[in-house]
Amino acid sequence: MAVVVPRRIAEELQKRGIDAESLIIDYLARLLELDPEATAQSHLELALRYLEEGKRLIEKDPAQSSEKLYKAAEESVKALAIYLNLKEILEDVEKNGRWSVARLEKAVVKISQKLGSQFRSWWDTAWALHVWGFHEAKLDTEDVRMRLLDIESIVLEAQKIIEGDKQTTKPMRRNQ
């Protein structure tokens, strides 16, 4: 089922830097009183879709690819925060009605404490794609491509944790 957001609302969401799909997932999960695992799975599904879209765009549009890959990492962080029940962060998100950069960063720190510092490094790569690849449009195809493995690692680590080892084939990359 595809949902079409009216243009004026879509423009306002974009102006405010709000991802409509992620916001809808969170809103519907609360409305339907979904369990945390189903909500985490929904964010993971969105992360996987963004990852594939980002890969497809690397050659023809590095800026849009950068943003899709960042969104894949962002949705993975949200999924893990929900799945790992990072209560303080989730309560703050609930109180404020949405995720913010500060809340994402706090979640990354907490997740890194559980999974290892490599997770934080992968997130830093995602942030570089968001800022330098998308907002500043300074990264070319090769720059984006060389960062892809870190984004895949974040998404696959989230998938491994949320769905279990049977779903992933790549091991978590460690500091090299």
**Residue, of 28 and 89, whose pLDDT is higher:** 89
For the stretch 53-77, pLDDT in tens is: 999 999 999 999 999 999 999 999 9
d(CA 108, CA 58) in angstroms, rounded, equals 25
User: Could you tell me the end-to-end alpha-carbon distance of the chain, in angstroms, rounded to an integer?
Assistant: 43
d(CA 90, CA 106) in angstroms, rounded, equals 11
For the chain, the domains span 36-167
Whole-number pLDDT of residue 15: 81
For the stretch 23-56, pLDDT in tens is: 777 777 776 777 889 999 999 999 999 999 999 9
Task: Give CATH for domain 36-167.
Answer: 1.20.120.330
CA angle 15, 10, 135 (to 5 degrees): 40
Whole-number pLDDT of residue 172: 43
- Asked whether residue 146 carries a pLDDT value surpassing 90, the answer given is yes
- Asked whether residue 171 carries a pLDDT value surpassing 70, the answer given is no
CB atoms within 10 A of CB 128: 17
Whole-number pLDDT of residue 31: 67
Please provide the average confidence, as pLDDT, over all residues in the chain. 89
Whole-number pLDDT of residue 175: 39
Read off the pLDDT of each residue in 119-127 and give the average, rounded to a whole number: 97
Which tokens hold the place of 66?
């950068």
- Asked whether residue 116 carries a pLDDT value surpassing 50, the answer given is yes
